[in-house]
Amino acid sequence: MINTQLYGLIGKPVEHSLSPAIHNALFKKHKINAVYLPFEVDDLESAVKGARALGIQGLNVTMPYKERILEFLDGISDDAKVIGSVNTIVNREGKFVGYNTDGIGALKALKRFVEIKNKRILVLGAGGAGRAIAYTLSKLTEVVVLNRTERKAKELEKFGVKGEKLSKGRLEYYSSWADIVINATPIGMNEDRSPVPGELLKKNQVAFDIVYSPLETRLLMEAREAGCLTIDGLWMLVYQGAESFRLWTGIKPDVEFMRNVALEVLKNVQ
């Protein structure tokens, strides 16, 4: 395979990721001579140097490196700079340029199912994904972020959101206040836990969990039972992945195709 372009995912852990299956299927579909590989990284600086040396054309970045990766890049998009988090790197003639597609992915996933304008949104978590989601949605409507570390929640107030320390009382209050509840934490990933007690969810709310393994987390199961509209994390994954693919190739891919690839992988691992 001459001149095969190399793309990949860096983070720790990465073995659970659906991104390799999705992007390799897209390369095949669009007849692009490229391969996407997962790289579990312990030393981020060395990994980036290695990626440069190998001429890797694009990378996705996942936990725990979305914020730290900024110091090793040659350029950062305006949105990624404001958010302080990068999940996509494009090799532009030897220069590694960082972007953030998490916010766009969450926005498009939500818009697929619900009108966002004038909706009150509660975001749980102020990590890389939570920051991107809060920043993107704050341009359209009222957003409150609750986070275990108050400082990280308060930092997001520069976006025009309200940031508060997560407490039982605030969770109860803002769960009742919100039209849309978004879990932007890892709680529920391959475990039977939810960041929001089921009794706090109410009929006609929207519950959106960015966790996609399992596809129906405990939060989404209890939300469905409460009469909420539920949106699983796979929608965000495919929409943010579609934006990454567009940045790398200039092609706007079919998200339905991407989701079906991911569902096949999930079906085979369960």
Give tens-digit pLDDT for 10-35. Answer: 999 999 899 999 999 999 999 999 99
pLDDT digits over 130-161, tens only? 999 999 999 999 999 999 999 999 999 999 99
Q: Taking residues 225-230, what's their average pLDDT? A: 97
Angle between helices 233-249 and 102-113 (to 10 degrees): 130
Statement: residue 269 has pLDDT above 90: no
List the catalytic residues.
66
Given its phi and psi angles, is residue 151 left (phi above 0), alpha (psi -120 to 50 degrees) or beta? alpha
- Closest by Cα among 225, 233, 140 to 185: 233
Q: What is the pLDDT of residue 63?
A: 86
CB atoms within 10 A of CB 242: 24
Flag whether 218 is marked binding.
no
CB atoms within 10 A of CB 149: 12
pLDDT digits over 27-76, tens only? 999 999 999 999 999 999 999 999 999 999 999 999 899 999 999 999 99
Statement: residue 208 has pLDDT above 60: yes
Q: pTM score > 0.85 for this model? A: yes
Q: What structural domains does the chain harbor? A: 5-100+236-269 (3.40.50.10860), 103-231 (3.40.50.720)
Flag whether 240 is marked binding.
yes
Flag whether 94 is marked binding.
no
CA distances from 41 to 56, 138, 188 (A): 15, 33, 23
Question: What letter represents residue 223's amino acid?
Answer: A
Q: What is the pLDDT of residue 207?
A: 98
Flag whether 53 is marked binding.
no
Q: Indicate the DSSP class of residue 110.
A: H
pLDDT digits over 164-180, tens only? 999 999 999 999 999 99
Helix (H) or strand (E) holding 129: helix 128-138
Q: Taking residues 252-259, what's their average pLDDT? A: 98
Long-range contacts of 153-156 (CB under 8 A, 24+ apart): 153/126, 155/126, 156/126, 156/130, 156/131
Flag whether 175 is marked binding.
no
